[in-house]
Amino acid sequence: MYLFYVTILIVININGSETKLNRNVLFIFVDDLRPLVDENINLPNIQNMAANGISFENAFAQQALCAPSRNSILTGRRPDALHLYDFYSYWRTFIGNFTTLPQYFKQNGYETYSIGKVFHPGQSSNFNDDYPYSWSHVPYHPPTDKYKEAAVCKDRRTQRMQKNLICPVKVSKQPGKSLPDLQSIDYAIEILKRTSNSTKPLFIAVGFHKPHIPLKFPRKYLDQVPIEQVRLPKYPHKPAAMPLVAWHPWTDVRQRDDIKSLNIDFPMGTMPKKWTLKIRQSYYAAALYIDDLIGKLLSYVDMKKTIIVLTSDHGWSLGENGLWAKYSNFDVALKVPLIFSIPKMAHKSLTTPVELIDIFPTLVDLAGLPYVPKCPNDTDKVILCVQGKSLLHYMNRFSEGDKHISFSISQYPRPGEYPVINSDKPRLMDINIMGYSIRTNRYRYTEWISFNNKLFTRNWNKLYGVELYDHITDPDESNNVNTNPQYKYIKIYLSKLLRSQIDPK
């Protein structure tokens, strides 16, 4: 019984010894889940995984948007290498026939399954979740997924059904009398039962839809998060020194019926405190719902014979700096849980910055599969390569060491400098600015520069905004110290490092 997007054939112990165990892989994908360890929210099953596994406390997505992030994770390549920053291109036909993580395991003898939301559905995965390249079986999507945007949220005043942001429900009264994640779990458990005696190693990816909006979940979970225990964000307004290009108007939140009725000024209005608390409460309740399902899933997994990886495609802003949803280069939008449960490997909690493109080469190492080379500068010429690095050496070392030179690279596109209706999710043809961000253990540094959406080139000399946040004094990233003379030399250093990673000579 094995489930998760990670697979293993060889366990490499702390002392470096190798034991061939023909292990299975379970990859657990949670949609839009930010780390909640500092928010007084108890997610017992995820926390138990972290307490007994290897947890990377500073793991960051490549782009805070579903399709670009998921395709980056699953190919091990950055959005620039895939030329994918929106939902509307399929890398195999648009740029190159690149090998994916599940495809590589499939090519090396694994039976691969996709359950729920793993690839982003639609054009970015060829409307078939990259089947049959990546998967041995047709990917499973729960039947009730078709109701994900249905008007099933009752307005207490009018008793009408609406398309709300906040939507706790009674499951038995829902269309299909279920919810997508409940159906995915049932299907996953059936796969685990059916393949429990399989002689072929398994690679199973399970993707949960929540806490992605709408915040639709069984009502009982709302009772587990008393609103009087929910805290407001420390900085709920746009910081004065934040460049306009860094702001996004969270249009998908505004367009929900319950939020639309608040008539919040576009694009810079602030969510009322009452609603900030209600949204945060519902987000936490949706996370508790998924944590319960993860616990149910893991009860069918032989933890001694399975490598498990748990992560998310990106985080989610909950009112920090006046922002909601994703669509930015801030920590709250990019930072995700990244937990590995590996048989016979001791618990560790690591703070060195890592990237989600590191998952591909890490799993290959853990499974003892043939080495996947690092991508050259002309990545479109190579079918099999990765831009990430294996995290196995961090897992095996007694000390992290050299944390000051470790970093993560992320990016986000904008149509222009001033926030407009499509600033959150610009299509490729509308992208004129790209924000490139580097996160070290102490700093986040971002440059918003001119971007050519036809040639995929950058002009570093045309800047629309620069941000520098010092996490020792400002963990909330609410004080842009870009113009502070005290940071002159660190800014020069980080700018050179960032540019060398995006445009290596």
Average pLDDT over residues 245-269: 97
Task: Provide, rounded to the nearest whole percent, the portion of the chain with pLDDT above 70.
Answer: 94
Spatial CB neighbours of 88, under 8 Å, sequence gap ≥ 6: 123, 124, 427, 428
- The one-letter code for the residue type at 378 is D
pLDDT score of 39 more than 90: no
As a whole number of angstroms, the distance between CA 440 and CA 391 comes to 16
Residues 74-103: tens digit of each pLDDT: 999 999 999 999 999 999 999 999 999 999
Bridge partners (DSSP) of residue 53 are: none
- Is 120 designated active site? yes
Confidence of residue 37 (pLDDT cuts 50, 70, 90): confident
Task: Please answer whether residues 166 and 260 qualify as being in contact, where contact means their C-beta atoms are separated by less than 8 angstroms.
Answer: no
CA proximity to 432, closest of 449, 446, 420: 449
pLDDT confidence of residue 5 = 35
> What value does the mean pLDDT take over residues 45-49?
96
Phi and psi, residue 476, nearest 5°: -90, -5
Q: Place 398 in a pLDDT band, splitting at 50, 70 and 90.
A: low
Rounded mean pLDDT, 385-409 = 82
Q: How far apart are CA 375 and CA 346, in angstroms?
A: 31
State how far the Cα of 10 lies from the Cα of 459, in Å rounded to an integer: 45
Q: Which fold has domain 10-502?
A: Alkaline Phosphatase, subunit A (3.40.720)
Q: What is the pLDDT of residues 420-444, one digit of tens each?
A: 999 999 999 999 999 999 999 999 9
Give residue 324's pLDDT.
98
pTM value?
0.94
Q: How far apart are CA 30 and CA 211, in angstroms?
A: 8
Query: Which one of the listed residues 83, 120, 153, 385 is annotated catalytic?
Result: 120
pLDDT over 60 (residue 13) = no
* Interval 155-206: pLDDT, tens: 888 889 999 999 999 999 999 999 999 999 999 999 999 998 889 999 999 9
CA–CA gap between residue 328 and residue 439 (Å, rounded): 14
pLDDT band for 401, please (50, 70, 90 cuts): low
Residue 40 pLDDT: 83
Q: Which of 66, 153, 375, 385 is flagged as catalytic?
A: 66
Least-confidence region, from 38-47, 121-130, 207-216, 407-416: 38-47
Query: Is residue 248 annotated as a catalytic residue, yes or no?
Result: no
Tokens representing 34? 């930010």
